[in-house]
Chains A and B, each alone.
Chain A
Amino acid sequence: MGTYVPNTKEEQHRMLKAIGLNSMDELFDVIPDEVKLNGPLDIPKGMSEMEVSMKMREIADKNKVFKSVFRGCGAYRHYIPAIVKQVVSKEEFITAYTPYQAEISQGILQSIFEFQTMICELTGMQVSNASVYDGATAAAEAVIMSKERKRKKALISASVNPMIIETIGTYITGTDMDMDIIPVKDGLTDLESLKDMLDEDTACVLIQQPNFYGLLEDGDGIGGILSGSDIKYIMSCNPISLGVLKAPAEYGVDIAVGEGQPLGIGLSFGGPYLGFMATTDKLMRRLPGRIVGETKDSQGRRAFVLTLQAREQHIRREKASSNICSNQALCAMTAAVYLAAVGRNGLKQVASLSMSKAHYLAERLCEIEGFDMVYKGEFFNEFVTTAGTDVDKLLGTLEEHGILGGYPLNDKHILWCATELNTKNEIDAMIEILKMEVN
């Protein structure tokens, strides 16, 4: 068996003696016999580190790592600079607890404060929290945050990622909130329907930019409809796109949320990722989760602390703005190091490369018989095409060539994605494979 208990059996025995006991069993004599386990746990015996390492590698080898990826749909493969991986592998950052003891946690606190600043910069909003679990829970928390005494209905565009919509549904079921779905027209939120759906019970409108199909929503149009009302405008956005696309604040958004995974965090079969949330000064005290603030210490030195804790569960218990306690701190640090490494110009470049490659991909795909753009709207780095032939067979052929093709939305439509990692040669090679397949 492997163990991380450092004390030897002999030391353990001495410690038992010191407290007046003879055996480990006696430590548990307060536990009634009826609930004690008879015999060992029904799991395998332990192993040495080497054996575990070999076993886990064997399991990892059962997964296929694709050399080319043209699939996004909520998880994006971008280039991760070496410095990012190095910094977030530092043992102090990995093994520290939530920074309640500010005097020995300035490192974590400052990194979160810098992260909050970067999220404010990206979104154009005034206040950011220290992170939530992921993009879907960020959207759900934003919806809950928007609730007013007389406004309890969320309107969510059908062009939002279905996983996000489902998560919001789970969060508000059984509470006093409910939600309606705003229909889409040509892949975009239908503004006419939205206007008809607004009423005095509406708490918020949530859209995704770029939306699930990769299209750019008329954020200004929606902002115009909502401006002057008490209805909160919530936008879920892809942080990489904000290198070139309008910031949520430029649309008049009240709460900006999103999935921070594209900012230097690996695909990791879906997690851990990073939910970010940013809002206006006015809504600051409704934000869920940890927030770091700057202050001074007893000698007037700059200091950082967890602040506005009167919102949180350990103080307010059932009256807290959310139950969130652990968040995704190390992922937030990852995003912060990524943003520091790429800087403004680098982020712009990643966004521009992703967008340009996606447009080149779209153009080349449409050369193939049976492949057409499904929607005409402007897109960022994802788009939907028809596929002239059997979608599963097509994607299967790509897989044989080490390519993870677009995501099959149904048996006719594919949602494609490109990032800076997809080279022209790679795209051209895939097009040739597809052409052969269709013919």
Chain B
Amino acid sequence: MKLIFEKGNTNRGLTLMPECDVPVVNVSAGFERKRELNLPHVSETEISRHYTELTKRTFGVNNGFYPLGSCTMKYNPKINDEIARLPGFSDVHPLQPEHTVQGCLEVYYLADKYLSKITGMDHMDFQPAAGAHGEFTGLKLIWAYHMDRNDTKRDKIIVPDSAHGTNPASAAMAGFTVINVPSTEEGFVDTDALREVVGEDTAGFMLTNPNTIGLFEENILEITSIIHEAGGLNYYDGANLNAIMGVARPGDMGFDVVHLNLHKTFSTPHGGGGPGSGPVGCKEFLAKYLPTPRIVCRDNIYTFEDKSEKSIGRVKDFYGNFLVVVRALTYIMTLGREGLKDASENAVLNANYMMHNLKDTFTIPFGKGRCMHEFVISLEKLKKDKSVSALDFAKTLLDYDIHPPTMYFPLIVHEALMVEPTETETKETLDRAIEIFKEVHNKAYEEPELLHASPTTKPIGRPDEVMAARNPILRANT
């Protein structure tokens, strides 16, 4: 397909701007742009058709089943988008006087209140723009806490070997050294190994629960107390909160800091890679370190509270990805206390239903026949028997119009496919997916070369990634 730069013709364009109604002022020579500026020169028709063509080469949740483990690709309700587009939210300047933005502040206030209750935290801050940004912010709180107590030796963050890549990356970015701890054969945190690595240099421990293989860490209270006894703090990665809303709360498991992904659990769309929102929650004793400004409510009037002397400071412009928070709040208000629990129950039910129906065909190395909201398949045997990899399997699913599960994660499972169906899929969709998974598995044994050659029905076949990295072409010729 052509690039937008390869369409149109010089002097084509839209008529968007009026004549200037004041004297025209030009930039003085020293500041004037001399360099050519080659932007597309296209008509509105061409723009409209160009992007419509691009939608045909894009796969959204509206296009089909998206069981992408750890990403919680649930349906994105349209009311949330409609509300976010209201001018009362979308056309408000961030630096308007407080009394003219009471509605915006109320959104943040309510979202803080509800998400604190859902996670068992005392406060929630919305500056972080995505999950990884939330991790960074949460780890800064841990850093500030230790520094404030003059406990300056604590420079290690412990991370299980099954953790998301962002966990160690965020810890390093926040200035910590990362210690990896192995998992047990059953896929849980190895408490003996954990005991061995904790000490006076432990700043904190990061964990997602249910963990990344879809199992609830049964020894969670023991794990969090090992860290607390060593003087460290416990950090909850909210990637998998969709399994336990209304059932259990990180705050009751011994976690001191959490981040959530509103674009996973709280149904806000992913936008092809963002914007997300990664609010950070914490217990009261850490509140003074949260980013500022904070929003407080007195006598039904909302105000910004500016400086906490101990705050870690801002982590971004203004206050956060506001319109994403508007969407999440709309969702929480729609579902309410029963609806959130119902969502988690059905997320777990759908995952168990799929796993149950696949377990005789596929190797599911962990969980003894049960899982939470997601489960991990290992195709190691298929790889050994027929040289068909998890990648080949995933690419074949594309031809069946299923978005493949997450591949090669967590790292502790070989040839991993991580399946998370979410609660918003019908039984028919799950049944059909189960059938397709089995069909592809059969095909892999009968005609493995077909899987190596897949996909064949998409706009492109497999791209040459090595060539892309060796000889990077990162922009068009204009």
Contacts and interface: CB of A to CB of B under 8 A. Distances in A.
Interface in A65-108: 65-66, 69, 71, 73-75, 77, 79, 81, 83, 86-87, 89-99, 101-108
Contacts of B245: 41
A175 to B, nearest CB: 4
A31 B240 CA distance: 15
A438 interface: no
Nearest to B319: A270
A356 B23 contact: yes
Contacts of B88: 57, 59-63, 65
Interface core residue of A20, A97, A357 (most chain B CB under 10 Å): A97
* Contact count band on B: 35 or more
A155 B170 CA distance: 24
Given A27-B345, A63-B101, A339-B40, A269 B130 contact: no
A2 to B, nearest CB: 4
Interface in A14-41: 14-16, 18-21, 24, 27-28, 30-32, 34-37, 40-41
Contacts of A37: 246-249, 252
17 contacts: A1-B335, A5-B342, A18-B357, A35-B221, A46-B336, A57-B88, A101-B59, A105-B59, A110-B54, A121-B38, A267-B93, A269-B318, A269-B323, A294-B473, A302-B460, A339-B39, A340-B42
Given A44-B337, A110-B57, A133-B129, A35 B20 contact: no
B35 A3 contact: no
Interface string B106-120: 110000011001100
A343 B246 contact: no
Given A105-B58, A127-B475, A295-B464, A308 B469 contact: yes
B130 A174 contact: no
B27 A134 contact: no
Given A12-B346, A62-B103, A28 B247 contact: yes
B22 A424 contact: yes
Contacts of A74: 94-95, 317-318
A142 interface: no
A284 interface: yes
A317 B465 contact: no
B91 A267 contact: yes
Interface string A44-62: 1111010011011101111
A106 B274 CA distance: 16
B68 A313 contact: no
Contact of A36 (B248, B319, B465): B248
Interface string A128-143: 1011011111000000
A341 B44 contact: yes
A268 B27 contact: no
Interface residues of A, number: 203
Contacts of B270: 95-98, 326
Contacts of B299: none
Nearest to B338: A1
B90 A267 contact: yes
A295 B55 CA distance: 20
Nearest to B68: A97
A336 B40 CA distance: 10
Nearest to A132: B129
A104 B58 contact: yes
A75 B338 CA distance: 39
Contact of B334 (A2, A114, A216): A2
Contacts of B34: 246, 250
A322 B315 CA distance: 14
Given A5-B424, A53-B79, 4 more contacts: A15-B427, A103-B398, A108-B54, A330-B269
